Amino acid sequence: MIEFSLGQISKIVDGILEGDEASIITDLAEIQHAKEGQLTFLGNPKYRKYLSITKATAILVPKDFSSFYKNLIRVKNPNLAFSLMISCFRPTPPLPNPGIHKTACIAESAKLGENTYIGPNVVIEDKAVIEKNVSIFANSYIGAETQIKSESVIRPNVTIYHNCQIGSKVLIHSGVVVGSDGFGFVRTEKSIKKIPQAGRVVIGDDVEIGANCSIDRGTLGDTVISKGTKLDNLVQIAHNVKIGEYCFIAAQSGIAGSSTIENGVTIAGQVGVAGHLKIGAGAIIAAQSGVSKDIPPGTIAFGYPAQEQKKARREIANIRSIPDIKAKLKEVEKMIKGSK
């Protein structure tokens, strides 16, 4: 059994303990479900309502937390502190030991760095370069001349087409397709002709790509996902899209061709971004929004079409008040008719 004292935990999370440092924690739980012997956290104010019912032995809270509880650990960022403790109590299974499974199919011209793991039925094509400490799990495909830099992890059933570049410490989850053809076609009088997709996909360091994402290669230039960006599951990135550093893109969002997402942008779930647009640095696009024009830096936008949040809310409020306005107009009409 894994266990830590509150004194030990406060040191791990660099927090200030208010309570019994000898109390023992044996597990973690959400605040509404936590029991004696468990550690929880309060990262979102809406969960304060559970303070009266939680049975947690201790709570990770912000430094300015004001309510009383028997054992508190004050930290700068409760979410980050709790994630550190998840790693302590429920560590991720270690990566496999280096080695090449006997069923892997590796081209003679491919290059493998030291300490790589190549799992069952993996295919690595001509002139691919796999740097040191890379792990590629079962049934994944690495196309010709693709490069995967050091310490990246490719989970099972990932397809990376030819001539793609994957940075260092990248994590790609199962079912992802990197480098498939962009959606490029030209109509003729009698048919639809395909435009060759001759660009690449370039993924920067420390990027994470969730399960079943699709990232299309550029038509001539590159589709780029820059350093530190995180993609949720089921995200579609079209040809020639440029995504900046440290962006968040949530599930079921799609970004159409040649759009640019600048650094630090957050795109919530089920957002659609039309082609050839620019979303400025630090912008936030709320869930289920449809972006049809450029979004300035730092803007919080939502709606369809997406626009600045305060303006959109005013418009929605006005629309919802239309039935009341109509009713009042009818009363005025009756008064006018009655006075004639």
Active site residues: 239
Q: How long is the chain?
A: 340
List, as one string, the DSSP characters of 159-217: EE-TT-EE-TT-EE-TT-EEEEPP--EEE-SS-EEEPP---EEEE-TT-EE-TT-EEEP
Instruction: List C-alpha distances in Å: 36 to 18, 28, 49, 84, 215.
Output: 17, 10, 18, 20, 46
Give which of 64, 73, 63, 59 is closest to 13, Cα–Cα. 73
Reading the block at residue 84, the tokens are 């550190």
C-alpha angle with apex 268: 262 to 274, nearest 5 degrees?
60
Q: How far is residue 15's CA from residue 211's CA, in Å, rounded to a whole number?
A: 34
Q: How far is residue 276's CA from residue 48's CA, in Å, rounded to a whole number?
A: 43
Is it true that the peptide bond before 305 is cis, omega within 30 degrees of 0? yes
Reading the block at residue 301, the tokens are 């936008």
Instruction: List C-alpha distances in Å: 38 to 56, 81, 320.
Output: 5, 15, 46
Cβ-Cβ contacts under 8 Å for 333 (sequence gap 6 or more): none
* DSSP character at residue 88: H
C-alpha angle with apex 292: 314 to 284, nearest 5 degrees?
65
Q: How far is residue 154's CA from residue 172's CA, in Å, rounded to a whole number?
A: 5
Reading the block at residue 240, the tokens are 């020639």
Cβ-Cβ contacts under 8 Å for 91 (sequence gap 6 or more): none
Reading the block at residue 226, the tokens are 């820059």
Cβ-Cβ contacts under 8 Å for 89 (sequence gap 6 or more): 2, 4, 27, 28
